[in-house]
């Protein structure tokens, strides 16, 4: 199976994401540094955040859903949004295409959901349009917010070096028809022995920085998002979260709560 070094030579390599900086909690600041052919260890220092410039994934996608006026599913002021970097590099690819990398066999996907009363649907397909996972999720509930959907370990694991396409929809309660949706891509890469060693002794905040320094977006976001969910009043963590989302142009969602979601209905 191709390792992470080979992946850096592929069209999915996105050096801009590695230039993103996140200040970690603690007495020192660990910065995201540009990714190289081997895993990068975040070094101490203070730098400015730089927006990522991920390459084309070759897959269509839309990071932001269209607004809905359906009376059965009232929404907040912000649209349905996938928390992923934009990946467009050519006119032939949709302007709002988004995606990233993961090392996880069962990764977690993050979305902002402004709808509280309507069920949700998550679908993952492989590069041959075959279904990997499909589930309907219960409504978010009391308030709009950022939610996460993790692939269950009882299902099919993602293969290293292979691209997948996900869809996340808000659906009507009775008909099951989609009201709005977002979609994007994910590709699994293999972490090298060096990166795995660094991760084994890292704190959750440091793990987020290590993943981002190696352009592994989904794992970086998940490491930080889980902390944000359990420590919503932590001001330093809130700033780190805001900086990470701001680096991909989603700073307007930084103050939205990370809410518990969602129980599969089938």
CB 97 within 8 A of CB 63: yes
- The confidence score (pLDDT) of residue 17 equals 40
For the cut 50, the answer to whether the pLDDT of residue 24 exceeds it is no
- pLDDT score at 265: 56
Architecture in CATH for domain 50-190+219-253: Sandwich (2.60)
**More confident: 247 or 23:** 247
Q: Residue ranges of the domains in the chain? A: 50-190+219-253
Least-confidence region, from 16-20, 83-87, 154-158, 160-164: 16-20
Q: In the structure encoding, which two tokens stand for residue 6, read together?
A: 């080979």
**Packing angle of the helix pair 204-213, 235-246 (nearest 10 deg):** 10
In the predicted model, is pLDDT for residue 72 greater than 50?
A: yes
In this predicted model, which residue has the larger pLDDT, 8 or 81? 81
Quick one: pLDDT at residue 90? 52
List of residues 6+ apart from 94 with CB closer than 8 A: 60, 61, 62, 88
Q: Which range is least confidently modeled, 62-66, 90-94, 174-178, 183-187?
A: 90-94
Closest of 125, 99, 132, 63 to residue 216, by C-alpha: 99
What whole-number distance in Å separates Cα of residue 65 and Cα of residue 79? 6
Peptide bond into 262 cis (omega under 30): yes
For residue 229, is pLDDT > 80? yes
In this prediction, residues 26-51 reach a mean pLDDT of 34
Is pLDDT larger for residue 176 or for residue 47?
A: 176
The reply to whether the predicted model has a pTM over 0.85 is no
- pLDDT band with cut points at 50, 70 and 90 for residue 14: very low
Higher pLDDT, 214 or 60: 214
Q: Dihedral through CA 148, CA 215, CA 102, CA 10, nearest 10?
A: 140
Element of type H or E holding 169: strand 163-171
pLDDT value at 196 more than 50 = yes
| Average pLDDT over all residues of the chain | 76
- Is the pLDDT confidence value at 46 over 60? no
Residue 264's pLDDT band (cuts 50, 70, 90): low
Give pLDDT tens digits for 100-118. Answer: 999 999 999 999 999 888 8
């Amino acid at each position: 199976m191709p390792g992470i070094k080979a992946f850096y030579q592929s069209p999915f390599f996105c050096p801009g994401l590695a230039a993103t900086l996140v200040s970690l909690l603690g007495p020192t600041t660990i910065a995201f540094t540009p990714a190289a052919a081997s895993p990068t260890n975040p070094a101490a220092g203070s730098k400015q955040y730089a927006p990522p410039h991920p390459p084309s994934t070759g897959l269509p996608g839309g990071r932001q859903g269209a607004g809905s006026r359906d009376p059965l599913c009232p929404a907040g002021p912000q649209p349905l949004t996938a928390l992923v970097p934009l990946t467009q590099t050519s006119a032939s690819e949709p302007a709002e295409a988004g995606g990233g990398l993961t090392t996880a066999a069962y990764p977690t996907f993050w979305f902002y959901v402004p709808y509280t009363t309507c069920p949700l649907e998550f679908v993952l397909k492989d590069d041959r349009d075959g279904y990997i996972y499909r589930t309907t999720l219960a409504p978010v509930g009391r308030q709009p917010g950022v939610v996460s959907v993790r692939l269950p370990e009882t299902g099919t694991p993602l293969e290293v070096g292979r691209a997948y396409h996900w869809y996340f929809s808000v659906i009507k309660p009775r008909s099951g028809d989609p009201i709005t949706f977002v979609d994007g891509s994910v590709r699994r890469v293999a972490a090298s022995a060096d990166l795995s060693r660094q991760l084994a002794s890292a704190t959750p905040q440091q793990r987020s920085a290590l993943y981002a320094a190696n352009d592994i977006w989904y794992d970086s976001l998940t490491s930080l998002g889980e902390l944000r969910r359990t420590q919503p009043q932590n001001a330093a963590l809130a700033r780190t979260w805001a900086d990470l989302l701001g680096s991909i142009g989603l700073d307007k969602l930084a103050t939205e709560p990370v809410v518990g979601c969602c129980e599969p209905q089938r």
